[in-house]
Chain A
Amino acid sequence: MIVRISGEGQWRLDDDVRTRVNELDNAAVAAVEAGDEPGFHASFDALLSMVRADGERLAGDDLHPSDVILPPADLSFDEAGEDFTGEGLIPD
């Protein structure tokens, strides 16, 4: 599967990593819901590090769309709690 980290680029990962991606993503969201800021940063950073380390970076002229798009690395705890839409991360 192809994963994009917003603001950084795209990586191709083996499909069997999907579960691990989901686990870390869910852990990040659970931490946000629990108001656990350090927990959020730990899970989110681990998620991005895994994609960068285990994935193979796509060439700049590759035109494949991504299967999953992850938020930018500097996503704040507050932004993670928002909808990403409207007044959130991605205004319409």
Chain B
Amino acid sequence: MAGLGGRMSTVIKAKVSKILDKAEDPAETLDYSYQKQLEALQNVKKGIADVVTSKKRLQMQSSKLEQQVVKLDTQARQALAQGNEDLARVALERKDGLQAELQTLDAQVAELEAQQERLTESEKKLRTKVEAFRTKKEVIKAQYSAAEAQVRISEAATGVGEEMADVGLAMQRAEDKVETMKARADAVSELEAAGTFEDLTALGGGEDDIDKQLRELSTTSVVDDELAKMKAEIGAGSPPAPGELGAGDGAPETVDGDATDEGKA
């Protein structure tokens, strides 16, 4: 097996010659190359736009989940106030699952943010090379005989072609990441719609049974702690602020706001 550098060079160079060989008449190479370079720049811009769109989508999903968390917290309090501890426990378990999901989403948003920055940087680099090529081709045309110009043009075009292939690789990798995130986000949306958030652990990439059991253990103790805290708050004779309990059915937004403050206290 050739080294990493050898393999990578071979693949990139094959791509570059594929780009360059398309021009049948050598005299056309110049303009053809330049046209391809401009197209490549457009593609990178599209790629960046795709990453931004996906990032916004994940951010929206994240704020939706945040609302759900607040709602479940309110519901748990209501259930507990009515003496229904089992129901309160279920609500808290779901809330805990959602919070884990929120963390994943936030990490994904950060990852896409980084991809966006990297691609923007790549686009800038490619634009610099394309501009240099545009200048150089005019110089070459003016100064060299046809045969010599051909050699120089080919070298310059290869240099830009390499940058194009490299940006293409960066875009492909960004796209793969976006696809993986999309698939996961869709699965989460489905679970959210079905109200089965306790199954979220099943989505964790590469989690084995032991991981799962450990996670369930910690979830259980987190939920137990939360339940005990809520009980203490309700039972300690400090009645909750008016509107906090029992108002959940009617005006969720107001209740959400109150419960957020309460949850953080």
Contact = CB atoms under 8 A, between A and B. Distances in A.
Interface of A: 3-4, 6-7, 9, 21-22, 25-26, 28-29, 33, 44, 60-72, 75, 80, 83-85, 89-91
Contact of A90 (B12, B118, B131): B12
Given A28-B4, A65-B155, A72 B128 contact: no
A15 to B, nearest CB: 15
Interface in B145-200: 155-156, 158-162, 166, 168-170, 172-173
Contact of A60 (B4, B12, B128): B128
Interface string B194-217: 000000000000000000000000
Contacts of B166: 4, 6-7, 69
Nearest to A58: B159
Contacts of A75: 4
B247 interface: no
Most buried by B among A62, A65, A75, A83: A65
Contact of B4 (A29, A62, A66): A29
Q: Nearest 10 CB-CB pairs, A to B?
A: A63-B159, A25-B3, A61-B132, A60-B128, A63-B156, A65-B158, A69-B9, A68-B5, A69-B8, A65-B159
Contacts of A80: 4
Contacts of B141: none
Given A63-B129, A64-B155, A90-B172, A6 B4 contact: no
Interface residues of B, number: 35
Nearest to A74: B173
Contacts of B156: 63
27 contacts: A4-B166, A6-B12, A6-B166, A6-B170, A60-B125, A60-B128, A61-B131, A63-B132, A63-B155, A63-B160, A64-B159, A65-B161, A68-B5, A68-B9, A69-B5, A69-B8, A69-B9, A69-B12, A69-B13, A70-B5, A70-B8, A72-B169, A80-B4, A89-B11, A89-B173, A90-B15, A90-B172
Contact of B172 (A60, A62, A63, A91): A91
Given A61-B131, A63-B129, 11 more contacts: A4-B162, A6-B12, A9-B125, A22-B3, A33-B1, A60-B125, A63-B132, A65-B158, A70-B8, A83-B7, A84-B11
